[in-house]
Amino acid sequence: WDAETGERLLVLKGHTNWVLSAAYSPDGRRIVTASEDNTAIVWDAETGEELLTFSP
């Protein structure tokens, strides 16, 4: 979300259950999410593209 306008900037679609945590990489280029579906996904922070999925 844009904090000033409230506009949605990006939607990350890939998990099949609740997302429990999310973090940006130090350079801001990637986002990592961890979900109740037992996966962690690395995303491109600009495009929302799913780059890598970790699962048991």
This prediction has a pTM of: 0.89
> Taking residues 22-48, what's their average pLDDT?
98
Q: Please list the helix, strand and coil fractions of the chain in percent, rounded to the nearest 5, in that order.
A: 0, 40, 60
Percentage of residues in the chain having pLDDT higher than 90 = 98
Do residues 24 and 31 make contact, with C-beta atoms less than 8 angstroms apart? yes
Domain residue ranges of the chain, discontinuous segments joined by +: 1-56
Distance (Å, whole) CA 41 – CA 21: 11
CATH number of the domain located at residue range(s) 1-56 in this protein: 2.40.10
Instruction: Tell me which residue has tokens 């259950």.
Output: 17
Percentage of residues in the chain having pLDDT higher than 70 = 100
Do residues 33 and 18 make contact, with C-beta atoms less than 8 angstroms apart? no
